[in-house]
Amino acid sequence: MRTFSSSVQTVLNSDNIQFFFLIKLSFASTYYLTSLSSDVVYDGNTYISDGGLYEFDSPSFSTVVDRESYKIVIADQVDTMLNEFRFGVVGKDIEVSVGFIDASGAPLTDLGDVIAIYKGYVDSPSTTNDFQEKLALIEGTSPMADLDGVNDFLSSRDGMDQRSALDVSFDNIFKGNEIEVKWGKV
């Protein structure tokens, strides 16, 4: 069972639950974005409100191990994300957390008050441009995405040599070795 700090528990017990998202993109440069209407400092980093955060998925819970994806859309008017995509962002880290706003309207930003809701890797970045808006679409997958992976293994001497030159277990595969096997009663 997940436990919350007393500040967060007070907000959750109230009738007025307000929250905001903190998104960290660890590309060539690290980007800190927030859905809050003003910049917020969390864990020594300033998450900016005007960083172009356009749309993002709500957190979802899964009861099975699967390849759950997470989508983030950023308005990219000056091609910042497009340039990052060109340098390669596949496999780079994405972290999404949620914070809460207390009764006085202040964001709760202590380490114990912010909850991590997604941690994964960039899987398929893309951009769209319809001449009215340019958007960068970032789809992230969880570490469980590796469960969908297929790894080939060659059953040959050369295939084993690629893994270890010292392993001689496949040295006689595909050689013309004759083996006499007796079937039935001896």
The model's pLDDT over 88-136, given as tens digits with 9 standing for 90+, comes to 999 999 999 999 999 999 999 999 999 998 888 898 899 999 888 899 9
Grade residue 56 by pLDDT with cuts at 50, 70 and 90: confident
- Expressed in percent and rounded to 5, the helix, strand and coil fractions of the chain are 15, 35, 50
Grade residue 67 by pLDDT with cuts at 50, 70 and 90: low
Residue 157 has pLDDT above 80, yes or no: no
Answer with the residue of higher pLDDT: 116 or 144.
116
In this prediction, residue 105 carries a pLDDT of 92
Grade residue 168 by pLDDT with cuts at 50, 70 and 90: confident
In this prediction, residue 36 carries a pLDDT of 94
Q: Which amino acid belongs to residue 104?
A: S
Q: What is the rounded average pLDDT of the residues 46-50?
A: 95
Q: Which tens digit of pLDDT belongs to each residue from 27-40?
A: 999 999 999 999 99
Per the CB < 8 A criterion, the answer to whether 163 and 151 are in contact is no
Residue 146 has pLDDT above 60, yes or no: no
Residue 150 tokens read as 């297929």
In this prediction, residue 118 carries a pLDDT of 87
Grade residue 176 by pLDDT with cuts at 50, 70 and 90: low
Residue 170 has pLDDT above 90, yes or no: no
The residues, any chain, with a CB within 8 Å of residue 157's CB and separated by 6 or more, are: 170, 171, 173, 174
In this prediction, residue 149 carries a pLDDT of 60
Per the CB < 8 A criterion, the answer to whether 140 and 120 are in contact is yes
Residues 76 and 127: their CA atoms lie apart, in Å, by 9
In this prediction, residue 107 carries a pLDDT of 96
